[in-house]
Structure 1
Amino acid sequence: MPDMLAMLDAAQLATARDATRATAASMRKQIGTLTPEAWQIDPRQWVGVNGNGMPTWQTLAGAVIKGRQAVHEGLPTTIALERMGITLVIRSRTALADTYRGAAESTARSIRYNCGFVRALNPPSCGRCILLAGQPCGRAPFERHPQCDCIAEWTPNGIDTSMLASPSEYLDSLDEQQLARALGSHANARAYRDGADINQLINAYRRKGAVGTAQQYGRTIKYTTEGTTKRGAAAWRMLRAGYAKEYVKQGGRYTKLDRPRLMPETIYQIAGGDQERAKTLLRNYGWIL
């Protein structure tokens, strides 16, 4: 245990130093001036303690208790050791995450006290994360979906956050395969290149079951129910173009259009090789705003 604690102490010190350097560089880049710190940050203050203030040795000692419980349950020694190892890894990772978070916050507030979190990407990223990139989220870190690896950057209040993360800049940096993966399909990637709105493309998949297929117009179509309520931009476009006639109640909370909103995949199939017709359909179905 002493050797393990020494390794964790060294990792915490290195993590705290990285957090202070990276956060200071990021904050000063955003501010544009070498603002002096209101107080000096000592990375050693995060060594040996968890985010809740408990000594790390107490937290790691819980792994021994896990092992003893396994032995008392009559399980083999190998399983007891495995449980201890898993507990040690999880708790060590949590301690290091708390160390980075605490050191980063203290550093950020020493440079500009009034600051908050901004969501930044850690590529490759999914569509939902891309859409939220650069969005401020106050003093509380943003919610994550399972396996989300986005990072929370500290930024001074009132600063343009697009310099930290921009959905359009990130998408424009991707090749065709990467763009299709991020937006859901090659047709969506093509629609984006043709001027489709990022929010419309990604939000089409916002709810489970929102995108589906059906037999209509003598073909198999791919459609989405997103944007077809009275508040949806696509609904207004479709009504104006004559693609839908009225709103109907089909179950659920809201009334929706009586016609499906075609996805870009079906739109390009209908348009064939006519690029102008494809763009017209993309506009009328609310993809190009």
Structure 2
Amino acid sequence: MVGNVRVTSYVRVVELPACSRCIILAGREYSVSQGFLRHPRCDCTMEPVVKRRKAPVLDAEDLFQSMTPDQRHRTFGEAGTKAIEDGSRISSVVNARKSMDQVEMFGRTVQVTHVGTGSRKKPRRPPRLMPEEIYRQAESREHAIRLLYKNGYLK
């Protein structure tokens, strides 16, 4: 690719089945000289982008829609899948898992994430509830949607 002057960049192509981290990076564009990290058994590839012609590549939402319900549950978990189907951003659900914790809130121990609240050592805002905790606490779908919005999964 470096020798071909028509190639301006490349995009990450994700083949299913894939892990949730790879799925949220699907369709991301990289410069010709920049690589992307892979994990063991990663099937992601790169596709060159030629000047004036962008390659049609599936992004995270397209990949999610093309997955079977069983693939969705294996990749994102039951609550994560439900949150995404209810309109949450896939990246918010996946990234929340990077900094999961259990804290004492509402008079009981709940699952939270520190992602999107500041640093773990000096949080600027209180921790956010995990989707699993939101669906445990929600009394109805409307209540779950309000909690997803309040906790930053929906915009």
With the shorter chain as reference, the TM-score category is 0.7 to 0.9
The 5 Å alignment of 1:107-186 reads: 109=4, 113-140=6-33, 141-161=35-55, 163-183=56-76, 185-186=77-78
Identical pairs, percent: 31
What TM-score results when the alignment is normalised by the length of structure 1? 0.49
Supply the AA of the counterpart residue of 2:152: G
Alpha-carbon spacing, 1:151–1:114, altered in 2? closer, same or farther (3 Å) = closer
Report the equivalent of 2:113. Answer: 224
Q: Which has the higher strand share?
A: 2
Cα distance, 1:160 vs. partner? Answer: 4.1
**Structure 1 gap ranges (5+):** 1-104, 230-248
Alpha-carbon spacing, 1:176–1:113, altered in 2? closer, same or farther (3 Å) = same
What TM-score results when the alignment is normalised by the length of structure 2? 0.86
Does residue 278 in structure 1 map to residue 144 in structure 2?
yes
Contact 2:10 2:30 in 1 (8 A): yes
Does residue 265 in structure 1 map to residue 132 in structure 2?
yes
C-alpha distance in 2 between matches for 1:219 and 1:283: 22
Tell me the C-alpha RMSD between the 2 structures: 2.3
Bigger relative contact order (CA 8 A; separation at least 6): 2
Contact 2:100 2:111 in 1 (8 A): yes
Alpha-carbon spacing, 1:158–1:187, altered in 2? closer, same or farther (3 Å) = farther
Cα distance, 1:198 vs. partner? Answer: 1.3
Deviations, residues 107-135 of structure 1 (Å, cap 9, x unaligned)? x93xx723322100122111111111111
Contact 2:7 2:48 in 1 (8 A): no
Report the equivalent of 1:214. Answer: 103
Which is greater in Rg?
1
Report the equivalent of 1:256. Answer: 124
Aligned length: 154
Contact 2:114 2:120 in 1 (8 A): no
Report the equivalent of 1:86. Answer: none
Contact 1:119 1:165 in 2 (8 A): no
Q: Which has the higher helix share?
A: 1
**Structure 2 gap ranges (5+):** none
Report the secondary structure of 1:221's partner residue: strand
